[in-house]
Amino acid sequence: MAITESGVALLPRIERFKSVQALSDAVAGRVAGAVMQGVQARGAAQLVFSGGSTPEVFLPQVASLDLPWDKVTVMLADERWVDEDHPHSNAAMLRRTLLSHEGPNRAQFVPLKNSAPSAGAGVGALRASLPSSLHRHDLVLLGMGNDAHFASLFPGTPGLAALLDPANTDRLGAIPPPTTAAPAIERISMTYAELMHSRGVALIIQGQTKLTVLENALRGADPIATPAAALHDIDVLWCP
């Protein structure tokens, strides 16, 4: 979390777009910039996408980008604990909208689901499968639900305070089925600290309802009840 000299946390910067197309263009531009900067500086780039429905709005635009995809590692911020043939699989959504396309199909994908019977049983192996924590992500693109959750960090989740702790060295957490959003399926999620371990973080939201939820959260709500209140010093991209 970035703090000003006076000790005040920096609030998110909200960019407002008039249309879904304009929003998608802006997201694609950020992805292109992050990838090219990463490849030029370090020979590789790491991108983190959220699951849910919002990415399906902009991922087709991202999929059309002419980038050195073979030097890109793609990860999910969170995943439902289901196989990829399940309709609620975030990995399946990402493959369909991005990774199956010519170009992005050369990227390395690191899934957040293994063969363990539960997220709790599988989280240890998943931690070991992530790229080294010595390497920051180049861009993390988050979404947010109407309950103010991001990734799979839901209001009232057991252990949420630790999952939102910016000093937490744990990179992933097992999440029980949420009670504030559907589907009620066990999940795996990157922690707040892991998500913020990035050169760029943007929250992508659509519709007045979600903008109001975010604005209310940023007025000082308790992050345990309203997780988006924990988001500081990031960019927010919004369209109606």
The answer to whether residue 96 sits within a structural domain is yes
Rounded Cα gap, residues 24 and 165, in angstroms: 31
pTM, entire model: 0.94
Domain residues for 54? 33-239
Instruction: Tell whether the model's pLDDT for residue 222 goes beyond 70.
Output: yes
Q: Which two tokens stand for residue 200?
A: 């760029």
Q: Which two tokens stand for residue 207?
A: 């519709």
The answer to whether residue 119 sits within a structural domain is yes
pLDDT-derived band at 5 (thresholds 50, 70, 90) equals very low
- Cα–Cα nearest to 170, from 189, 186, 152: 189
Count how many domains the chain has. 1
Rounded Cα gap, residues 178 and 196, in angstroms: 23
pLDDT one-digit tens code per residue, 131-188: 888 789 999 999 999 999 999 999 999 999 999 999 999 999 999 999 999 999 999 9
Task: State mean pLDDT over 91-103.
Answer: 98
Element of type H or E holding 90: helix 90-94
**CATH for 169:** 3.40.50.1360
The answer to whether residue 20 sits within a structural domain is no
* β partners of residue 47: 74, 139
The answer to whether residue 200 sits within a structural domain is yes
The answer to whether residue 79 sits within a structural domain is yes
The answer to whether residue 93 sits within a structural domain is yes
Rounded Cα gap, residues 43 and 33, in angstroms: 14
The answer to whether residue 191 sits within a structural domain is yes
- Cα–Cα nearest to 103, from 149, 69, 137, 60: 69
The answer to whether residue 3 sits within a structural domain is no
Instruction: Tell whether the model's pLDDT for residue 63 goes beyond 70.
Output: yes
pLDDT-derived band at 2 (thresholds 50, 70, 90) equals very low
Interacting residues of 25 by C-beta distance below 8 A, sequence separation 6+: 61
